[in-house]
Structure 1
Amino acid sequence: ALVTRSITYALDLSEPSAPQAALTLRHTNPVQSTAACGQRIGGESSYAQWMQLCYYDYMRVLAPRGSQFVGAHTRPVPDAAMLSEVGDDGTVHTEAGPAGTSQMSVFQLIGFGETRDTVLRYALPPAIVRRDADGWHYHLSIQKQPGTVAAPFAVELKLPAGARIASASPAPAGKSGQTVRWAGMLDADQAIDLVFQTP
């Protein structure tokens, strides 16, 4: 399907010893149809026709090792939309991921003309921020899934009360109160490095 994606990652570092993350993945299927979604075997004669269907996706998110799933906003996939006639209740599955990561995954369906936000909330291990004489250091890696088109992303970090930025790479797109924001296109792996100081 001709689905577009966008990513918003919000990290609350107001208590550096207890970082909390919320990841929102937005999928939009621009194809308009009054037909019901259904898996098919054959019937489409070209790739272009396959792209005009509903979008079935098993979404996987990799977080730092030790991350703990807290909750999610997902939607079930109805029985009628599956060839097996067995749908999915939208449960997020957690397990150890590759390269020492923590993995969260969920099955989803993006229907005709639909925009769907899937939100994953999880607690990150305190070790993602470290403190030295220069302040608190935070590094974020955003990996682009191979074979996917570039997608817009936004990163929002909420700093502790009274904190000030000592250095940031790349430079933030903006700051409002204690929230620092970056934005860009995920056309390749991205990295953000931030050092902040607290009173």
Structure 2
Amino acid sequence: MNAITIALDLARLRGHPIKDYTFPFWQAVILLTFIGISYGLDPSIGIPLIYAIILGVLIYWSWYWVCNFVISWWLKRSKLWDGRGALSRVIIASWGIDILLPFLGLMGIPGLLLIPLWLYTLWVMVNAISHATGVSKGSSIIACLAALLVYLFTLGMLAAITIVALVMSGIFPAVNS
């Protein structure tokens, strides 16, 4: 099976065992990069298009690495999963539905109405991990929430460090009271 077929099945909440995720890794790379590019096309970001695309790709790739590390660690640590199979491909394929979010935003749908779809994409990932590894949905939810918390903390720390560095270097002016 290829990455797109599996992503469409996962969007319909049809889980696959981990042995089905044998598509070439380059397909996963293209899918993940395309999702990042699609987020960069959102004009509401307010920065030049090329920077927005680079930012979208970097954010999605960093989210992937944190997710892959934290979810794998959580499932192995709690001895719920033996570590066999490509969990990285499961995670990327479960994000296939994320391509819809920026395009719906480009069509003028307010962000508030996209929140249920974003929550659905999280549920697709939970369902995919649960079916692929054989762990319960509760354990998959905890693993995904742990990954989300680690990612948000890491992103916040990187943003704070970047802002401090830009202010100290004089590139970004400090606000005087």
Tell me the TM-score range normalised by the shorter chain.
under 0.3
Rg (Cα) greater in structure = 1
More helix by proportion, 1 or 2?
A: 2
Instruction: Give TM-score scaled by structure 1 length.
Output: 0.23
Q: TM-score, normalising length from structure 2? A: 0.25
